[in-house]
Amino acid sequence: MPSPKSIYPHPDNVVDGRAIAVQIQRELAQRVAELRRRGVTPGLAFVRVGEDPASKVYVGRKEKACAELGVASETHIVPESTSESDLLALLAKLNADTRLHGILVQAPLPKHIRESVVFSTVLPSKDVDGFHPVNVGKLMLGDASGFRPCTPAGIMELLVRSAVPTDGAEVVVLGRGNIVGKPMAAMLCQKGKNANATVTICHSATRDIAAHCRRADILIAAMGVPKFVKSDMVKPGATVIDVGVNRVPDPGSRTGTKLVGDVDYAAVQPIAGRITPNPGGVGPMTIAMLMQNTVSAAGKTLN
Point out the residues that are catalytic. Answer: 62, 106, 129
Query: CB under 8 Å to 120, separation ≥6 — which residues?
Result: 132, 133
Q: How does DSSP assign 219-265, residue by residue? A: EEE-S--TT-B-GGGS-TT-EEEE---EEEE-TTSSSSEEEE-SB-H
Output phi, psi for 177, to 5 deg: -70, 160
Counted residue by residue, the chain has a size of: 303
Nearest to 224 by CA among 181, 268, 166: 181
CB 168 within 8 A of CB 151: no
Q: How far apart are CA 104 and CA 33, in angstroms?
A: 23
Which amino acid type is present at position 249? P
Query: CB under 8 Å to 170, separation ≥6 — which residues?
Result: 197, 198, 200, 215, 216, 217, 218
CB 23 within 8 A of CB 286: no
Q: How does DSSP assign 252-277, residue by residue? A: TSSSSEEEE-SB-HHHHTTT-SEE--
Helix or strand or coil: residue 181?
helix
